[in-house]
Amino acid sequence: MMMNMHDKNSFPPPFIYRLVIFIFDNILDKIGFFLFPFKFLTLLATWLSRFVWLLSNEYSKRSFGSCGRGVRIYDSFYLSAPSNFKVGDNVHIGSNAFLRAEGGIVIGDNTHISRNLTIYSMNHNYQGELLPYDSARILKPVKIGRNVWIGMNVTIVPGVEIGDGAIIGMGAIVAKSVPPLAVVGSASQRILKERDAEHYRKLDEANRYAGMSGYTRKDKNTK
C-alpha cells in the first residue's frame, strides 16, 4: 500500500515534507554557489594533509637502518634509535605506533601491523643501585618475521622473536617468542617472578630512589 503524502497520519507529516522541499528548492540551491569555496578548501586541506603525510613518510624512512620498498607508516609514529630499525618490503605500520629500537627491531617482508603497536627492545635495570630502577639499559633485540599479521593494541617486549606467517591477535602482550605460523591471542595475567626482597629492602631503607629514566635524583629527599 502506497503512503499518501497528504494523509495527516503519514510520516513525515505533510507540512514537514513541504518545508524540506521548499528549503532545498529555494534556499540551498541558491546559496550552493557561495558554499563552493568552503567545499574546495576542505578538499584542498585533505589533499595537502595526505601530501604532507607522504613527505613525512619518506623523510622518516631515510633515517632507518634499512628500509624496503612499499613501506607505509601512518600518523603519530614514534621511533627512538632509528638506525637500529630495519624494515623489509611491503610493511605497513598503523597509526600511533610507539617503538623503542635501542636494542634493535627487525620487521620482515609483507608484515602488516594495525594501530597502537608498542615494541620495546630495551629495559631498565631493577637490580641496580636505585629504586625502582637505575639508568642502566638492558638491550634485547626484537625480530618479527615475514608475512606476519599483528592486530590492534599489541605490545611486544624485549627479546621476542615472532616467526614467519604468525598472527598476533588484538590486545595481546607478546612476552615470549612465537613460532612460525602460530596464532596467538591475549594471555591471562600471571606473576612471572618476584624481585629480590633483600635487595629491595636495602635500597628502600637507604632512600635510593631514581629520577627520570632511572638517573640519580638530586634533591633533599635522597641520601
> Tell me: the pLDDT tens digits for 49-91?
777 767 777 777 889 999 999 898 987 889 999 999 999 999 9
Span 144-148, average pLDDT: 94
Q: Are residues 70 and 166 in the same domain?
A: yes
Decide which of 23 and 177 is more confident.
177
Last residue of a domain, one of 36, 62, 88: 62
Catalytic residue, from 6, 92, 112, 124: name it.
124
Q: Are residues 81 and 30 in the same domain?
A: no
Q: Is residue 221 part of a domain?
A: no
Number of domains making up the chain: 2
pTM value > 0.85: no
Instruction: State how far the Cα of 127 lies from the Cα of 202, in Å rounded to an integer.
Output: 12
Specify the pLDDT at position 9: 44
φ and ψ at residue 48, rounded to 5 degrees = -65, -40
Specify the pLDDT at position 10: 40
Q: Is residue 51 part of a domain?
A: yes
Question: In the structure, what pLDDT confidence band is assigned to residue 47 with cuts at 50, 70 and 90?
Answer: confident
Strands (E), 101-200: 105-107, 112-113, 118-120, 122-125, 134-139, 142-144, 149-150, 155-156, 161-162, 167-168, 173-174, 183-184
Which residue segment(s) compose the domain that 155 sits in? Answer: 64-212
Specify the pLDDT at position 4: 43
Residues 50, 51, 54, 56, Cα dihedral to 10°: -100
Specify the pLDDT at position 218: 63
Q: Is residue 105 part of a domain?
A: yes
Instruction: State how far the Cα of 10 lies from the Cα of 222, in Å rounded to an integer.
Output: 78
Decide which of 31 and 97 is more confident.
97
Q: Is residue 220 part of a domain?
A: no
Q: Are residues 80 and 183 in the same domain?
A: yes
Based on the residue annotation, tell me whether 199 is a catalytic residue of this protein.
no
Q: Is residue 222 part of a domain?
A: no
Q: Are residues 57 and 9 in the same domain?
A: yes
Instruction: State how far the Cα of 68 lies from the Cα of 85, in Å rounded to an integer.
Output: 12
Span 103-130, average pLDDT: 95
